[in-house]
Amino acid sequence: MLVFFDESFRKSVTQPEKSLGILCGIAISEKQMYRVAADVFQLKLKHLGAQYAREKEIKGKELLKPYTFKLEAKGMTSKNLAFASDLLDYIVSKNLTIFGCVCFEDGLRAFRCEDVRALDKTFRHIFERVDIYLKREHPDRMAKLIFDDRDYQTNRQNAEAITNFFMRSPAGLALDSIIKIPLFAISEAHNIGLQLADVVTTTIGLRFAGSQEVQAYWDKLKPAIYRWPTELGKMGSGLKVLRGKP
């Protein structure tokens, strides 16, 4: 099982003094990847034409930028929003599963592990949810974690912290449905998994930043966020929100 992750950073719309970081992943089985890539290509072709479909990377910040919402508010059709809507519907229809962490806490919302000996809780929360998903829904599979490429130093620190967590800590060793070495890839290289993760992360980020315009797109995406019954009789969520101190 491939789990593609992308990150986003933004200011709160309703409280500009607040910042948040968003790291979200989308799970796609290896057997699905070719079909997903072909289907997304057809959606690109449908909404934005052949040149875009062949050459352009899908970017959530372009599909869901303020200008497109202004067009919609004026009753004008936006190709970008129509494409974003179809992508989110497609994710749900194909049972692609979403995980993530929204973080308002200082020192953690950058998703950069400064101490490679102690994995940030943002990553731990996500990995715990991926592990629950694999063990409950796909017990015969292993998850491969694939992150969007950042700068070399961030990649190195995060990779070392993640591997140390999985191989040297009791909590990490218990998450034995996840391959212990993370991978890093470039979304520009026609990596549809990372590009879908980008759209997901942008949608969730806008929702928790307080954007009213994105609400309809958030409502479309919500069914794809993993949920499971806990031992306490409640429903667990694949999306963890760390709000920090009030």
Position 52 scores a pLDDT of: 87
The residue type at 6? D
Burial of 146 (0-12, 13-18, 19+ CB in 10 A): buried
Contacts of 61 (CB under 8 A, 6+ apart): 8, 202
Position 189 scores a pLDDT of: 62
17-41: pLDDT as tens digits: 889 999 999 999 999 999 999 999 9
Question: What sign does the dihedral 119-125-130-133 (CA atoms) show?
Answer: positive
Q: Please give the radius of gyration of the chain, using alpha carbons only, rounded to the nearest integer.
A: 18
Q: Are 25 and 4 in contact (CB under 8 A)?
A: yes
Q: Are 145 and 185 in contact (CB under 8 A)?
A: no
84-118: pLDDT as tens digits: 999 999 999 999 999 999 999 988 999 999 999 98
Q: Are 83 and 44 in contact (CB under 8 A)?
A: yes
Position 75 scores a pLDDT of: 80
Taking the C-alpha atoms of residue 232 and residue 77, their distance in angstroms, rounded to an integer, is 46
Strands 235-237 and 227-229, by their bridges, are antiparallel
Contacts of 167 (CB under 8 A, 6+ apart): 173, 180
| E strand spans, the chain | 2-11, 19-28, 97-103, 144-148, 183-185, 227-229, 235-237, 239-242
Instruction: Supply 235's token pair.
Output: 């429903």
Q: Which of 235, 181, 225 is nearest to 27 (CA)?
A: 225
Question: What is the chain's pLDDT, residue by residue, as a tens digit (246 residues)?
Answer: 999 999 999 998 888 888 999 999 999 999 999 999 999 999 999 998 998 888 889 999 999 998 888 888 888 888 999 999 999 999 999 999 999 999 999 889 999 999 999 899 999 999 999 999 999 999 999 999 999 999 999 999 999 999 999 999 999 999 999 999 999 998 766 789 999 999 999 999 999 999 999 999 999 999 999 999 988 889 999 999 998 765
Q: Are 242 and 104 in contact (CB under 8 A)?
A: yes
